[in-house]
Structure 1
């Protein structure tokens, strides 16, 4: 009861402040990847792992800016000059599953997001999916703000490769083959998609502050009685590093407009069909690159 009373008092005392509230929140994003868990890495040296990790750094560590008011927001990646961009098919693949600018309208429930998928620009329209948040008993200080914990279970799009993890069934089958001394064709190139699996659902942990009484947060996340300052989703942590309240000059909050307009369901279908096409091309070409839009 104490934690709910604290939240209620904070929200009640800040209602008048919320009417004209606006600001910019900067989030540092970090994603962890266990290179030892993917593929056959027995012959991969520490230097090779270090080189791969350095090349992936631009994809795994990013800064985002959420420009918000009481009802609307625009969430964008801060553009930086990358000295070591991840290139090749892997870089293109992962980049294609990273959303572009995301607009949310809390009043209408509308969400619009720009996505570039294998060289084609799409404007994805959707509704805000508010999760069934469960308030916890914990609180902590994040900067100058008191933040409260909330958790929720999120269903995962089976084509969302940002949620990929090592395929446990594959590792178990390989171990069984080794124990049974089953010989395999060493010249056969394994389908990279068989090395990973997408979980059906994941737990999301958010830390929000009623001291900034907007029901918003980074990316697609919203629905809590205060701005989300920290978010833990699968292997990614987003931590708010700076907040500028009621800035004199800030980006105008507008929905993005570039790309072919499609619904979320239509976009998921496009991604699924393209992924299957890439897999077929990979198998038919013996592992060589092939296929385009």
Structure 2
């Protein structure tokens, strides 16, 4: 009963503030971190090497993003880095990471309930067009401050399937590749502020009565570090147009096919001379 009453109060608040939201625009900066805990064969990799690998992988997922938003539209983009986003290495180890969760440019229109994700996969550009997911958010009464903003907690649960592929080569005979697929239910926790009454958030997250300033799915945390409201120079939010047009389902099928092809290639080509090479796919 309390949750129903709380949902009603927030719905009423958002309805009353929707007119105010029309005048809101801004740029939010987010930083992401992902927990990594990769377990390797202890007969081939000592504790120090495992710790080193986890540290390298964790650094791969420390990224910065900007979210430009108005009441209806937003554009989410990773801040460019000089580092190679897909390769890390050190002390004879090299790790290649392929991820289906990242985006080059993500446009969302919450009033039309749709998104456009311009993404590059193995050198080919795709334009993913689909409807936004509508999570069954549970609005909580718990609050905390993020910077100068009072934030409320919201949660929902979803099921994810993860595939981890580790490929290594340490002889002239070929390489070993192992694929593990797991399905689990996770709880996504968001912290949003009604002080900025727009339905946007980082990545695909949206639909709450206030800008999402922090999101956590158990392994990844995305936290807002800076907000500039109503910037004097204005905002340039343009829907991306370049790339092969596909739905999210079609893109996922292409991704799965490419990853299976790569796995077979790693099994068959021997990877000679590359004593420690790994490919790890993070799905979410």
TM surpasses 0.5: yes
How many Å separate the matches in 1 of 2:223 and 2:105? Answer: 18
> Is the 2:86–2:98 contact (alpha carbons within 8 Å) kept by the matching residues of 1?
no
Match of 2:176 in 1: 190
Residue pairs, 1:189-208, within 5 angstroms? 189-192=175-178, 194=179, 196-208=180-192
CA change 1:72–1:151 in 2 (3 A) is: same
CA change 1:41–1:112 in 2 (3 A) is: farther
> Is the 1:26–1:63 contact (alpha carbons within 8 Å) kept by the matching residues of 2?
yes
Identify the match of residue 98 of structure 1 among 93, 97, 102: 102
The alpha carbon displacement at 1:273 in A equals: 1.4
Q: Are residue 40 (structure 1) and residue 46 (structure 2) matched? A: no
How many Å separate the matches in 2 of 1:228 and 1:260? Answer: 30
Match of 2:217 in 1: 233
The alpha carbon displacement at 1:230 in A equals: 0.5
CA change 1:15–1:107 in 2 (3 A) is: closer
How many Å separate the matches in 2 of 1:7 and 1:216? Answer: 16
Gaps of 5+ in 1: 168-186
The alpha carbon displacement at 1:82 in A equals: 2.6
How many Å separate the matches in 1 of 2:202 and 2:155? Answer: 15
Considering fraction of residues, name the structure with more helix.
1
TM-score, normalised by the number of residues in structure 2? 0.79
How many Å separate the matches in 2 of 1:84 and 1:49? Answer: 20
CA change 1:227–1:164 in 2 (3 A) is: farther
Q: Are residue 78 (structure 1) and residue 69 (structure 2) matched? A: no
> Is the 1:66–1:73 contact (alpha carbons within 8 Å) kept by the matching residues of 2?
yes
Aligned length: 260
Residue pairs, 1:241-252, within 5 angstroms? 241-252=225-236
Q: Are residue 20 (structure 1) and residue 4 (structure 2) matched? A: no
Identify the match of residue 146 of structure 1 among 137, 147, 150: 150
The alpha carbon displacement at 1:203 in A equals: 1.6
How many Å separate the matches in 1 of 2:85 and 2:104? Answer: 20
The alpha carbon displacement at 1:257 in A equals: 1.8
Q: Are residue 255 (structure 1) and residue 239 (structure 2) matched? A: yes
How many Å separate the matches in 2 of 1:263 and 1:44? Answer: 41
Identify the match of residue 126 of structure 1 among 124, 130, 154: 130
Structure 1 residues 246-280: Cα deviation after superposition (integer angstroms, max 9, x where no partner): 01125411111221111111111111211222223
Q: Are residue 281 (structure 1) and residue 284 (structure 2) matched? A: no
CA change 1:114–1:85 in 2 (3 A) is: closer
Match of 1:115 in 2: 119
Match of 1:65 in 2: 66
The alpha carbon displacement at 1:282 in A equals: 2.8
> Is the 2:77–2:103 contact (alpha carbons within 8 Å) kept by the matching residues of 1?
no
> Is the 1:213–1:226 contact (alpha carbons within 8 Å) kept by the matching residues of 2?
yes
Gaps of 5+ in 2: 167-172, 275-284
TM-score, normalised by the number of residues in structure 1? 0.77
The alpha carbon displacement at 1:41 in A equals: 3.5
